[in-house]
Chains A and B, each alone.
Chain A
């Protein structure tokens, strides 16, 4: 065990300073240290994508980032996707409307990965959605309704997605 070192993270718009071992994974800092348990762990090889969060605006697998690597970064987790007055993000709304989830375990990662896609490509084709979600595994839905939800969310006008992409 190495000596803990301080790390500053801005998560969902809130500043945090933590003392973490250098080997501590970002996902454990988020879940166990900050109590943001919406980000999940489904594997130990960076395949499943359940731990996907946004780091400085881009989707990353937080099991593959050390907490110390995120020093000074802006992080958005699933808990930061709905607006402060409780209005769901268009992707959350679409996943709900389209039955894009069953057990819900992969869902936060799916939504964060899909938001990453829509930030780069606001009008993706089905094929582009499918390839963008290649790194996120779901065992329940067969992906059909997840893909539908992402395509439906993309139809919602861009600004609201962008607006909620990086919390103030």
Chain B
């Protein structure tokens, strides 16, 4: 207890007792937790094996589900005979698409761009009539045991009549064959974002480079596969899902199952990574809920990795033709990108929108007067694509940064010099680029300068030359990127803007309990990012308490207001800002209560050193615990309602645009084609830091996602649409053994878009890194006559390029 409100003070004895109950909780706390590298609050349960992921939750009477999936890439389902499966011991039921005729509609696609036709075939939780990619589900088997349902699923006999398969997006565009015969085309849509006049820009150019940039298909590959536990009882549905977006899942479960929304509760418990793959409304979620209602039993479906590789949505898979033109002095005059985006067999929640996200930052961090992106989407008999970490922006950055190096070589310029000549100057922010997008803040020279404090280019070049004489091919590559995140401003993303059928706002609820402990609810839904720590830091500082007593609750649609979840590096810039504003409102009410109780003017109350005190009389004040006591005992000003909690919805006026400069150093073995990353330096600017420890972690993971794509990972299908990379044996995720430790640094250019001055950082590393790696490999191989190469830079591909550059024939 602080002494100043004791004797003759205004706080009641009960208030004192409440504060004493939370002795530590009520004690003053320095209000500078934001910016500190606090270790995470969520970690103890995770490191002790006490966290609860979906498969760790058990309900009495749970029935297991296993799916019968198509081994064919494209076929008519002629018949399904489940009689043998049904007769097995412990099997409750087998259902097919025909049994689900009562479903309220097909799975959702939430992008309706104004004035653009998007072909959107029906997509059902269980196939109706045809299967369109390997893994498409045709039946579900329900039984009492995890192993028994898998046995029974093997007894379901499905007769398929194979149809012609198309897996190559360029051939698909010319179709037939058509993935969806009824559409009469494989083309999904055409969408453009023009800025200036690219043809006029090319007419002015002294040099033009044109490249075919293939950004191959990758998997999200969270280490926890997807999983659902659905419990429908007495008219109410509770569904636990390994999802990033519980609020979206609730909405669509309500619509598709015809259950009033307030009777649907979706919980994202501990979620073992998402990377965009769990930004989805999946058929299995709808199916588990439907089955639970049908059987009146809880139903659990836990995905195997093999299923995850075949059916969870994948990412990238774009073929682009890019043209960049510049004057002799390196000033870029035009950049024109034509993207063919392979969407696989269906539109998922946001599939056709993904390449457009790249178009918004196709200027990169450069002042390019004329920029245009033209996108064509196409269906193929492969798993659908949708958002995977970065979602459209890694592809865009790769195109910009690799092409810029190509242009520099064409002009005989240093790759860093051409970047400097085109950087948007730091004094021109907020900066409107050619497409009309307004970048919030930036200082690109500063991050590059800082990068070069870590990387001595003169020393590198002499070392590189010396090593070449020993047969070691070392290269350095750069990527100076910016990206667009904090997905958000509804006026731009929503129905009145580009047409996403959802608001981009976020919600917060801050509740101060009787003892001064705080619960902070956020509508964003973390799955490893550290919400519970970073958000607690934000709230704690605004209320003068320790983050230890601020419990952050997320991922439960029954806890807290309606929310818009986590994706697109939005949690901090949108959700964190909502919480900050909400906590400020609570603090404002607290100040009014303190003023009332201390008989001071509210303008004279300030929060300092963990106390709401009277300016100039720091001994006179109340802790949050004491304020809470007063608030709940109705010791509040006349006309003020009791209680100490507020709810806030926040819709920012713009996106945020993190940026940075990355350098990658590789050694390429010319005999085997194998590339080793031997050094990676990243200088990122995500505005003000809330928790630098978390930022570093996000950057590390992001970089490796892109190194993985550049060097190792590739989802591969053969011509018959058979998935060649169906397990972690065939799909090469990077391991610790392939990677170096990273060198990271930051500059700080606050965002003016939110009061935190913060920008997202979850995707930045992934958006930046593939170009740095690719440019490094090209830099290493130039002496061998290789000036351009597409990812993945596997030993085989690099070796083949080396052989063909030698004039030999690659085996």
Contact = CB atoms under 8 A, between A and B. Distances in A.
Nearest to A111: B47
Q: How large is the interface on B (under 10, 10 to 19, 20 to 34, 35 or more residues)?
A: 35 or more
Classify the secondary structure of A's interface with B.
loop
Contact of B701 (A95, A97, A111, A142): A142
Interface in A116-168: 126, 129-131, 133-148
Interface in B40-59: 40, 42-53, 55-56
Nearest to B700: A142
B221 interface: yes
Given A96-B39, A137-B223, A141-B700, A41 B273 contact: no
A140 B528 contact: yes
Contact of A145 (B44, B697, B703): B697
B48 to A, nearest CB: 6
Contacts of A145: 696-697, 700
B271 interface: yes
Interface string B40-80: 10111111111111011000000000000000000000000
Contacts of A48: 223, 305, 728
Contacts of A95: 43, 47
Nearest to B242: A105
Contacts of B736: 129-131, 133-134, 136, 138, 143, 146-147
A28 B150 CA distance: 15
A32 interface: yes
B51 A104 contact: yes
B739 interface: yes
A10 to B, nearest CB: 18
B374 to A, nearest CB: 33
B306 A144 contact: no
Contacts of B51: 38, 104
Interface string B734-764: 0111010110000000000000000000000
A42 B52 contact: no
Interface in A22-53: 23-24, 28, 31-32, 36-45, 47-48, 50
Contacts of B49: 36-39, 77-79, 81, 108
B529 interface: yes
B742 A134 contact: no
Nearest to A145: B697
A47 B43 CA distance: 25
Given A111-B47, A141-B701, A45 B737 contact: no
B272 A40 contact: yes
Given A47-B728, A96-B47, A139 B270 contact: no
Of listed A101, A105, A131, residue having the most chain B CB within 10 A: A105
Contacts of A5: none
Interface in B500-538: 527-530
A144 B729 CA distance: 23
Interface of A: 1, 21, 23-24, 28, 31-32, 36-45, 47-48, 50, 77-79, 81-82, 88, 92, 95-97, 99, 101-108, 111, 126, 129-131, 133-148
8 contacts: A1-B89, A41-B55, A44-B306, A92-B47, A130-B739, A134-B736, A140-B273, A141-B697
**In the A-B complex, the 9 residue pairs with the closest CB atoms:** A38-B49, A105-B272, A103-B528, A104-B46, A78-B49, A142-B700, A142-B704, A47-B728, A37-B56
